[in-house]
Each structure stands twice: as structure tokens, then as C-alpha cells.
Amino acid sequence: MSALDSVLPSGNLLLAMKYTPKHIGELIKRTRKNLGVTQKELALTSGTGLRFIIDLEKGKPTCQLGKVMVVLQTMGIKIEFVPPGGSGKKED
């Protein structure tokens, strides 16, 4: 048993995650539409491709993390990483 076994949920990790790729894709799509931006415009602005944006909005779990973060930043969507253990300090 590793140290991670005591803090990570057992079973399907996607079910235990607060935000799944599908949730993130839905958030991006909803935000994009609220901003009045097309998928093509978002792809051009974020330096990604149209196919990537389509896959991302559909919740494809294998989208490249670096590109996902660029799209989130481009749209002004903030993310927060908080380590376990209650240190209270956020890692932005």
C-alpha cells in the first residue's frame, strides 16, 4: 500500500473527480458561447486547432493538458490547485 492509497479514492477515478473532462468541456463551451466566440475564433486566439477545441468541448479525456490550460487562460477561466493536508495555501 502506497501513501497515495490513503488519499486517493478507490475505484473509478473519473467518478470521484470534482471536475471531469466532460465538465471542463461543458464549461468551456458555455463560456465560449456566452462570450459570443466561435470555435474557430477560440482556436485561432488560443493557438490551437479547431479539431482540438471540438474534442475539448466534447470532453475528450486525452486532450493535451498544456493546450487545455492555454484555452482556459485565453477565456479567463481560473483554475485552482489545492494540495491535500489542509495547508491552506493555494498553488496557482
Domain ranges of the chain: 16-92
Taking residues 20-44, report their average pLDDT. 96
Please state, rounded to an integer, the average pLDDT across all residues of the chain: 83
**87: confidence class by pLDDT, cuts 50, 70, 90:** low
Cβ(77)–Cβ(28) under 8 Å? yes
What integer pLDDT is reported at residue 77 of this predicted model?
Answer: 94
Mean pLDDT of 13-31: 81
Cell output for 86: 489542509
3-state secondary structure of 81: strand
CATH class of 16-92: mainly alpha
Express as a percent the part of the chain with pLDDT over 70.
74
In this structure, the chain runs to a length of: 92
- pLDDT number for residue 18: 72
63-70: long-range pairs with CB below 8 Å, 24+: 63/21, 68/24, 70/46
d(CA 89, CA 55): 33
